[in-house]
Amino acid sequence: MSILVVGSVAFDSVTTPFGEADDVLGGSASYFSTSASFFTDVQLVAVIGEDFPQQHIDFLTSRNIDLSGLQTSPGKTFRWKGRYEYDLNEAHTLDTQLNVFESFKPQLPENFRDAEYVFLANIDPELQLDVLQQVRNPKFIACDTMNFWIDGKREELIRTLGKVDILIINEAEVRQLAEEPNLIKAAQIVRGFGPRTLVVKRGEYGILMFSEGSTFAAPAYPLDEVFDPTGAGDTFAGGFVGYLAATRNLDEANMRKATVFGTVMASFTVEKFSLDRLKELDHRDISDRYRKIKLLTDFADLDG
Amino acid sequence: MSILVVGSVAFDSVTTPFGEADDVLGGSASYFSTSASFFTDVQLVAVIGEDFPQQHIDFLTSRNIDLSGLQTSPGKTFRWKGRYEYDLNEAHTLDTQLNVFESFKPQLPENFRDAEYVFLANIDPELQLDVLQQVRNPKFIACDTMNFWIDGKREELIRTLGKVDILIINEAEVRQLAEEPNLIKAAQIVRGFGPRTLVVKRGEYGILMFSEGSTFAAPAYPLDEVFDPTGAGDTFAGGFVGYLAATRNLDEANMRKATVFGTVMASFTVEKFSLDRLKELDHRDISDRYRKIKLLTDFADLDG
């Protein structure tokens, strides 16, 4: 089953303690769709400027990503510039140029309106809601958001969350959205806004997934070379939703496997700048790392 | 098999967002030995002042903790005063009065010198080494330390680590000790100082255990009421070493079970001030929570 994703396609300029990259392919929809493409087909909706090079189009197309919803607008592509210190959990934004993204109005091509699996990447919650109104009969809706929208468009965001099955956000944002410092209580409050499942991203500490009557903890894969954390969250979401769409199974056991596949994909992304590591990845790499995370977390039953 | 622990017995005054406690029983050796006492017998070496009340002696004795190495010195007992904000991972020290602890010279009673399992809590690394010289034929030595000793007695600490099997310290301290920001590389460096296993405490994010050829990740138990984190690390160590000593088995699978038992014990300690939660605990509570952590982390094999 293919997935519809709506988000950003961007140029990133990133400095880390290990190097720098200028104007490389980035954006939530790029990371999400490339990651998901290892599991299923993806339909991408985003906007680019006239400066967007053909090589990136060719790459995304080579991953079987349907770009018929990728609009080109007059002007320049969205640009983000950031820096990481040794604490790679925190990005310091140096510059944001929204450019064509500022007036982005997602328009779904007719054949995208039958999407059953939908991922709303981190965009204005009003646009997220607008996208949902264009989809005829979605079976599964996941979304992301960020502190900027929690602060500035809280009511609109909560309205969007009322229509969403799964919210995938980071730890600080859960606390901020719930206005509650304890994460477990905060998760309960956020689930009360609508999403039956809340997936909390904790960077190098992994994932906590809260569902009805069940909590699941997955560690991040321990890496001795974290090169650039940019896109890790969207890559996680791509692997997570990608696996769920491919298997068409939303029970708790399968959601847990999906979480681990998301973790696997994110662990590859951070090994190089941009999508460089995902570009060279194959299915065997993914399976191998899944098995390693199983070994990393395995311990005996009480009487084992 | 009983465990010898050398550390502090103290009065703590703690303020958290949820309440405050004054001059309650604390100290690394108190937390460690009470926790370990649920698994095996404990021999405690520490110093108290003349102001230490009989009720605490009675409590520790009731846990089958051998107090023949608990020296009483003229003066007052070690006092620590601290505050936690909503980020319960970080203690802010308001006041430290070493009192009798300042001139503490651990003297092992004759029958303690045959200890096979030894835990050196966070004290001066020169004293840790001195304790080891008093033990005749230890089979297993674990120790803790802190930023203060890493900064101030680095050489002495590294000398002690050369004699130690397992080092149990927090994440920031691993990086500081290794002088390396990447935790995985830092763990490798610290293991090079001597300990064949490094157990990294990450507060609410759980544990990473690094051994030869194996890494194990265990989450913390998610709690909706973390009342007071004081003593969580020593309580973890008590459960961990306690289980290992009780089972006399140091293979990887058993070390992983021990890590989970340590996690279980720490999760109880933080639910109330001081040792209050451990005082009311029974073995069934421990088993139940072990099983809950198993459920929390369980996911299927790749082909499962």
The ipTM is 0.94
Whether A96 shows a pLDDT value over 90: the answer reads yes
In chain A, what percentage of residues exceed pLDDT 90? 94
What is the three-state SS of chain B?
CCEEEECCCEEEEEEECCEEEEEEEECHHHHHHHHHCCCCCEEEEEEECCCCCHHHHHHHHHCCEEEEEEEECCCCCCEEEEEECCCCCCEEEEEEECHHHHHCCCCCCHHHHHCCEEEECCCCHHHHHHHHHHCCCCCEEEECCCHHHHHHCHHHHHHHHCCCCEEEEEHHHHHHHHCCCCHHHHHHHHHHCCCCEEEEECHHHCEEEEECCEEEEECCCCCCCCCCCCCHHHHHHHHHHHHHHHHCCCCHHHHHHHHHHHHHHHHHHCCCCCCHHHHCCCHHHHHHHHHHHHHHHCCCCCCC
Between B86, B222, B300, which is nearest A215 by CB? B222
Residue B218: per-residue pLDDT: 98
- Reported as a single tens digit per residue, the pLDDT across A222-237 is 999 888 999 999 999 9
Residue A239: per-residue pLDDT: 98
pLDDT band of residue B88 (cuts 50, 70, 90) is confident
Distance CA A153, CA A126 (A): 9
Order the strands of the A214-218 sheet from edge to edge: A65-72, A42-48, A3-6, A117-120, A140-143, A166-170, A197-201, A207-211, A214-218
Distance CA A161, CA A152 (A): 15
Distance from CA of B241 to the nearest CA of A (A): 17
Residues 6+ apart with CB under 8 A from A29: A5, A6, A7, A8, A9, A44, A45, A46, A121, A234
Distance CA B96, CA B100 (A): 12
Distance set, CA A251 to CA A255, A287, B22, B256, B302 (Å) = 6, 21, 48, 28, 16
Q: Determine whether the interchain pair A300/B222 forms a contact, defined as Cβ–Cβ distance below 8 Å.
A: no
Distance from CA of A224 to the nearest CA of B (A): 5
Tell me which chain B residues have a C-beta less than 8 angstroms from the C-beta of A217: 206, 219, 222, 296-297
Between A182, A216, A287, which is nearest B296 by CB? A216
pLDDT band of residue A17 (cuts 50, 70, 90) is confident
Report chain A's mean pLDDT, rounded to a whole number: 96
Distance of CA A19 to the CA centre of its chain: 24
Q: Coil, helix or strand for A180?
A: coil
Fold classified for B3-297: UDP-N-acetylmuramoyl-L-alanine:D-glutamate ligase (3.40.1190)
Pair A196, A165: CB distance under 8 Å: yes
End-to-end Cα separation, chain B, in angstroms:
39
Distance CA A294, CA B77 (A): 47
Distance CA B205, CA B272 (A): 19
Mean pLDDT of B101-106: 96
Pair A59, A30: CB distance under 8 Å: no
Distance CA A251, CA A253 (A): 6
Distance of CA B274 to the CA centre of its chain: 14
Distance from CA of A281 to the nearest CA of B (A): 18
Pair A129, A159: CB distance under 8 Å: yes
Residue B85: per-residue pLDDT: 84
Distance set, CA B277 to CA A76, B72, B134, B196 (Å) = 60, 27, 34, 33
Mean pLDDT of A187-197: 98
Between A204, A217, A299, which is nearest B256 by CB? A299
Q: Does B213 touch chain A (CB under 8 A)?
A: no
Pair A59, A276: CB distance under 8 Å: no
Tell me which chain B residues have a C-beta less than 8 angstroms from the C-beta of A260: 299
Q: Does A253 touch chain B (CB under 8 A)?
A: yes
Residue A225: per-residue pLDDT: 87
Mean pLDDT of A214-220: 98
Distance from CA of A33 to the nearest CA of B (A): 22
In chain B, what percentage of residues exceed pLDDT 90? 94
pLDDT band of residue A274 (cuts 50, 70, 90) is very high
Residue A105: per-residue pLDDT: 96
Q: Does A223 touch chain B (CB under 8 A)?
A: yes
Mean pLDDT of A233-253: 97
Mutate to test the interface with B, among A294, A299, A301, A303 (most CBs of B within 10 A): A299
Residue A107: per-residue pLDDT: 95
- Reported as a single tens digit per residue, the pLDDT across B254-282 is 999 999 999 999 999 999 999 999 999 99
b/e per residue A197-213 (b: at least 16 CB within 10 A): bbbbbbbbbbbbbbbee
Distance set, CA B238 to CA A74, A266, B14 (Å) = 65, 35, 21
Distance CA B10, CA B150 (A): 22
pLDDT band of residue A86 (cuts 50, 70, 90) is confident
Q: Determine whether the interchain pair B184/A224 forms a contact, defined as Cβ–Cβ distance below 8 Å.
A: yes
Tell me which chain B residues have a C-beta less than 8 angstroms from the C-beta of A253: 299-300
Tell me which chain B residues have a C-beta less than 8 angstroms from the C-beta of A300: 253, 256-257
Q: Which residue is closest to A225 within chain B, CA to CA?
A: B182
Chain A, 104 to 163: residues with Cβ < 8 Å from chain B are: none
Whether B86 shows a pLDDT value over 90: the answer reads no
Tell me which chain B residues have a C-beta less than 8 angstroms from the C-beta of A223: 184
- Reported as a single tens digit per residue, the pLDDT across A52-77 is 999 999 999 999 999 999 999 999 99
Residue A90: per-residue pLDDT: 81
Q: Determine whether the interchain pair B224/A297 forms a contact, defined as Cβ–Cβ distance below 8 Å.
A: no
Residue A114: per-residue pLDDT: 96
Between B217, B256, B260, which is nearest A219 by CB? B217
- Reported as a single tens digit per residue, the pLDDT across B202-255 is 999 999 999 999 999 999 999 998 889 999 999 999 999 999 999 999 999 999
b/e per residue A121-140 (b: at least 16 CB within 10 A): bbbbbebbbbbbebbeebeb
- Reported as a single tens digit per residue, the pLDDT across B163-188 is 999 999 999 999 999 999 899 999 99
Residue B1: per-residue pLDDT: 79
Residue A279: per-residue pLDDT: 97
Q: Which amino acid type is present at position A240? A: F
Q: Determine whether the interchain pair B259/A299 forms a contact, defined as Cβ–Cβ distance below 8 Å.
A: yes
